[in-house]
Structures are given as structure tokens and as C-alpha cells.
Copies of this chain bind each other. A is one copy, B any other.
């Protein structure tokens, strides 16, 4: 598969040429230097800019495609894609809707603002001693689609060095965007386990449904460009009106 780069900040190890180029472009994208829909410089421009050949540049651009940052169109260029993590890497669609169309309005709301805490005594994923010791930041969000509450998400982040999340808030309300821009932490991959469960009384209130309504329950571990740094999430999805798609 893709292996994780051994390195986040340059001079620690030998970053390949194409990784340097990818990193530079990635940071320009997440920092807003290229808006959604904008074109990156052409391959030839990038060649002279980085003093290399098309093959190396193309390898960098392929990495960005794989990571979902850009699409490429022959005859046109490399198009920056919309924020791909808008709903925690999930997307929803209406029952009878054609795949690919998505004119839903999406809104998020905190059920619990970021706070520092111990890890839960019984956590769904094994933790390293280092993770366990440092405690975690915890936050809970409720996601709406077309003003229907559809997903509750509990997120756990190893705390060390990320205390600004407590004081500064999230950029555009997006956790991943904030991690990208302020900490150069990029989500590269994800593992997940999925089950069906019944609502608790509390959840029934949140989703405005009866108890005994089935929910999708997902446990996730996000892998990042920092070795041994993971973000964890638990998701509860109410799927009566909107199905979950495109994992």
C-alpha cells in the first residue's frame, strides 16, 4: 500500500524529491493559497520551479491525487478539489438520489467543545504507553444534513503539543483542516470497524427518533504523516433519511 513517509519536517531525514514537491503543494493547498477549483502550476512550470523532470513532478502530483487533494484533467491542468474531509471522510446521500450529485447543506455543531481529559478506562483501540500517559483532547460533534441530525462523532486526539485546540478553536470548524494548517499533520489513511446498534435514550433525543432505532456505529483510527500519531473517532449514524456512502 502506501507507506508512511518517515518524516514530517524536512532536514530530519532524506525526503525524496517528489515528496518535497508534494509536501510543498499540499501545504499551499491546505493553507488556502489555491482555492477549490483553482489550477496548480503546470507540470512544466513545476519542473523549472523545482529543477527536476516531468516524471518526478508527475510522481508528486500522483501522490496528491491519491490523497484526494487534486484531480487531473488532460488538456486543462491539476484542479484543486473541495475540502475532502467535510464530513469526517463520510458522505451521505438521499435515498433515491443519483450517486455523485450532492446538493445537501451540511452543518456541524459541538455537543462538547474540545477539552483535555484522561483516556477512557476502556477504550475501543489499544493505546501505546506514550499515548496513554499524555492524556487526550476530546470533542463531540453533531453533524446535520439539510438540517436533519445524522451523525454524532466523538473524537480523541493525543494531547501533547496540541493545546492550541483548546484555546484557539478550529479553522472553519474543521478539525482536520486545523491539524493540517497549524500542525502540518495530514490524515493519510484510516482503519475502521463497523457495526449496527440500537439507539440509547440519549441518542434518540439527539436524532429525534424513537428508541430501538438502528444506528450505524463506526470505530475509526486515522493514520497521519507523523509516525505513531493517530486520531481516533467513534461515529453514530442515523440512516433513516440519509444513507452513508463512499467510505
A244 touches B126 (CB 8 A): no
Complex: A245 Cα to B247 Cα, angstroms: 11
By DSSP majority rule, is chain A's interface helix, strand, loop, or mixed?
strand
Contact string against B for A residues 205-240, beta-carbon threshold 8 Å, 1 for contact and 0 otherwise: 000000010111001000000000000000001011
Complex: A13 Cα to B214 Cα, angstroms: 49
B193 touches A244 (CB 8 A): yes
A237 touches B196 (CB 8 A): yes
A247 touches B247 (CB 8 A): yes
B195 touches A216 (CB 8 A): yes
Answer whether residue A186 sits at the interface, using C-beta atoms and an 8 A cutoff. no
- When distances are taken between beta carbons in the complex, the residues of chain B under 8 Å from A247 are 192, 194, 247
B98 touches A245 (CB 8 A): no
A195 touches B243 (CB 8 A): yes
For residues 174 through 221 of chain A, which have their beta carbon under 8 Å from a beta carbon of chain B?
191-198, 212, 214-216, 219
Interface size range on A against B:
20 to 34
The smallest beta-carbon distance between A29 and chain B, in angstroms, is: 18
- When distances are taken between beta carbons in the complex, the residues of chain B under 8 Å from A98 are 126
Complex: A194 Cα to B91 Cα, angstroms: 10
Among A1, A93, A194, A247, chain B packs the most CB atoms within 10 A around the CB of: A194
B239 touches A195 (CB 8 A): yes
A243 touches B198 (CB 8 A): no
A243 touches B55 (CB 8 A): no
B237 touches A193 (CB 8 A): no
- When distances are taken between beta carbons in the complex, the residues of chain B under 8 Å from A219 are 243
A196 touches B193 (CB 8 A): no
The smallest beta-carbon distance between A227 and chain B, in angstroms, is: 17
Answer whether residue A12 sits at the interface, using C-beta atoms and an 8 A cutoff. no
Answer whether residue A246 sits at the interface, using C-beta atoms and an 8 A cutoff. yes
Complex: A98 Cα to B196 Cα, angstroms: 20
Among A98, A193, A216, A247, chain B packs the most CB atoms within 10 A around the CB of: A193
10 pairs of A and B residues whose beta carbons are closest in the complex: A214-B214, A196-B214, A195-B239, A193-B243, A247-B247, A194-B244, A196-B196, A196-B216, A193-B245, A195-B243
